[in-house]
């Protein structure tokens, strides 16, 4: 693996397999198992945007590996007094941190940060660009259910344009040989969609009967400056998933969503509660993936590193 994890492009297909296999070792050991591997290391969660799942699961992952954890949220910090990202990061590094988990509203912020500090950088979401640990936990969840990733048909539905989750997941699916298809109104596709080299469909009802996974994306209302859809009600009627539409999906297929959900917009309550909906399982798997990342980047060697994993 590269020194940092800022983009899925920094991983090879072999790296992805190693990360997923290592997460599988942690998952099999169960949530009560604690490891001494990162004793003496410090991980800082540096969050300039709100988060529930990513921040808490990185914190839990670091603690299960016995690292010390610093949690920084920009609200209530000296950022309110005008301190820059560079000064904030260098202040935190002066306290002796080994890894910084960064969420920031600016695309590219993890690359800037890596130029200012020696700590390893894990991108926890940069603007509308990437969210690589989310993509890895999604691959892990798909592989656990389908037993493979190669050839898996994954429909990514909704606000591709503003989604860093989509940015990473499209790259990750292509890296492992899966078959992503984008389903969205034209206004919710990025102008650069052709660079993904992925098929685009506009009718969700044509796509659903053929998928292994229907991956719904949150409408990123906070990033929309303009009318991207006539109304949320119309968007929901054309692209939203409810139990009736979900009933046309193949028997073994999954419904996934990175969270947080806009219930009644991209997903109806009736679809969110179906047995094939694995949204809370994605959250659980996120802890194991983030343990694997911290273990591989800060302490361990590979998925069979029994010595380091013992304890
Ligand atoms: N999926 C995700 O990134 O959720 P949070 O914003 O709650 O971290």
| Of 239, 249, 237, 309, the residue nearest 276 (C-alpha) | 249
pTM of the model: 0.94
- Is residue 133 in contact with ligand 1, taking CB distance under 6 Å? no
Instruction: Verify whether ligand 1 is closer than 6 Å to residue 51 (CB atom).
Output: yes
Cross-strand bridge partners of residue 278: none
**Distance between CA atoms of 1 and 5, rounded to whole angstroms?**
8
24 contacts 139 by C-beta, under 8 angstroms:
no
Is residue 306's pLDDT more than 60?
no
Task: Please report the pLDDT score of residue 7 as a whole number.
Answer: 98
Which is higher by pLDDT, 258 or 228? 258
Cα 301 to averaged position of ligand 1 atoms, centre (Å)? 28
CA distance 54 to 131: 10
Percentage of residues in the chain having pLDDT higher than 70: 95
Task: With CA atoms as reference, report the closest residue to 177 among 150, 154, 155.
Answer: 150
- 3-state SS assignment for residue 84: coil
- Check residue 178 and report its DSSP letter: -
Sign of CA dihedral 278, 44, 73, 172: negative
Is the pLDDT at 300 greater than 70, yes or no? no
CA of 22 to the centre of ligand 1 (A): 22
Hey, which residues are catalytic here?
Answer: 53-54, 81, 103, 131
Q: Can you tell me the distance from the alpha carbon of 115 to that of 67, in angstroms, rounded to the nearest whole number?
A: 24
């Amino acid at each position: 693996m590269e020194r940092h994890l800022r983009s899925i492009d920094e991983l090879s297909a072999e790296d992805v397999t190693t990360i997923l296999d290592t997460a599988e070792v942690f998952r099999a050991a169960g949530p009560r198992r604690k490891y001494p591997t990162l004793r003496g290391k410090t991980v800082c969660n540096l969050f300039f945007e709100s988060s529930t799942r990513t921040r808490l699961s990185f914190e839990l992952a670091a603690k299960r590996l016995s690292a010390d954890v610093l949690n920084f949220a920009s609200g209530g910090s000296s950022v309110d007094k005008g301190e820059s990202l560079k000064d904030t990061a260098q202040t935190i590094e002066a306290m002796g941190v080994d890894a910084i988990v960064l969420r920031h509203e600016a695309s590219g912020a993890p690359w800037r940060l890596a130029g200012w500090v020696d700590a390893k950088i894990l991108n926890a979401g940069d603007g509308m660009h990437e969210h690589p640990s989310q993509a890895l936990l999604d691959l892990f969840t798909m592989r656990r259910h389908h037993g493979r990733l190669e050839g898996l048909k994954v429909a990514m539905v909704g606000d591709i344009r503003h989604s860093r989750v989509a940015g990473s997941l499209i790259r990750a699916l292509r890296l492992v040989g899966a078959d992503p298809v984008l389903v969205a109104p034209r206004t919710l596709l990025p102008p650069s969609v052709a660079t993904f080299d992925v098929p685009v469909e506009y009718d969700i009802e044509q796509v659903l009967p053929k998928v292994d996974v229907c991956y719904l994306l949150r409408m990123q209302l906070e990033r929309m400056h303009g009318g991207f859809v006539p109304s949320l009600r119309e968007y929901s009627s054309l692209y939203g998933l409810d139990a009736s539409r979900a009933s046309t999906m193949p028997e073994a297929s999954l419904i996934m969503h990175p969270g947080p959900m806009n219930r009644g917009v991209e997903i109806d309550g009736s679809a969110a509660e179906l047995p094939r909906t694995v949204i809370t399982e994605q959250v659980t798997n996120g802890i194991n993936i983030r343990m694997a990342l911290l273990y591989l980047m800060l302490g361990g060697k590979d998925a069979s590193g029994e010595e380091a994993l013992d304890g």
